[in-house]
């Protein structure tokens, strides 16, 4: 357990430090079904990544580029 809550930006900062931006995928799951696509959540994730020090290329990778790369690899098999 965490001694005190950490921010989303801190979570991303730690994940980026451990895994690197090429190994993180943005997920669209939700704890309230059916939430559907929510622009505010995407904006929150984008801002948190930027606050964590990710540049635009890293943000683009996390928010879709990595999934696209993985799925393209599966499709080619």
pLDDT tens per residue, range 13-58: 999 999 999 999 987 665 655 666 778 888 999 999 999 999 999 9
| More confident site: 4 or 50 | 50
pLDDT for res 30: 56
pLDDT for res 40: 85
Nearest to 47 by CA among 8, 6, 5: 8
Query: Quick one: pLDDT band at residue 64, thresholds 50, 70, 90?
Result: very high
pTM attached to this predicted model: 0.80
pLDDT for res 24: 95
Alpha helices in 1-77 (DSSP H): 8-19, 39-51, 56-60, 66-75
């Amino acid at each position: 357990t965490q001694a005190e809550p950490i921010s989303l930006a801190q979570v991303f900062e730690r994940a980026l430090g451990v895994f690197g931006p090429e190994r993180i995928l943005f997920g669209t799951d939700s704890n309230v079904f059916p939430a559907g696509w929510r622009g505010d959540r995407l904006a929150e994730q984008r801002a948190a990544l930027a606050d964590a020090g990710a540049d635009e290329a890293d943000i683009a990778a996390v928010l879709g580029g990595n999934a696209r790369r993985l799925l393209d690899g599966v499709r080619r098999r």
